Amino acid sequence: MTKKITKTDAEWQAQLTAEQYRVARQDGTEMAFSGEYYDQQLSGSYQCVCCGTPLFEAEKKYDSGSGWPSFWQPVDAGNIDERVDVSHGMQRVEARCKTCDAHLGHIFKDGPQPTGLRYCINSASLQFKPD
């Protein structure tokens, strides 16, 4: 079982940029096509910006046309918490980091095979580690 990381708001604010804090700690969303990683095509892996938990591999990233980094499979599904999100007048599945509870984005069932899933993730919630 993963050890949970908890910090005060002041500690998160000291660690993160204002945009990272707004998205990852306050459940925000960056504007489409504005994030650092939405069209990045480098080899490597993506980790939680708050705690470094491995989340996605670049080889499982694809261009969904949505304007956010999209992945069809996480490194380990156990690293991502799924929650029902009924904000904005619709029901969606929210993706959160299991280790630190950072808001990552949402999961949709319109992705490519073999999973059919689209993990639509905010760049501000990620840090990239090149191979």
3-state secondary structure 35-91: CCCCCCCCCEEEEECCCCCEEEEHHHEECCCCCCCEECCCCCHHHEEEEEECHHHCC
DSSP for residue 2: P
Identify whether 120 is a catalytic site residue.
yes
**Options 50, 97, 100, 120, the catalytic residue:** 120
* Max CA separation in the chain (angstroms): 41
Under a CB-based contact definition with an 8 Å cutoff, are residues 49 and 126 in contact? Answer: yes
| Catalytic residue list | 120
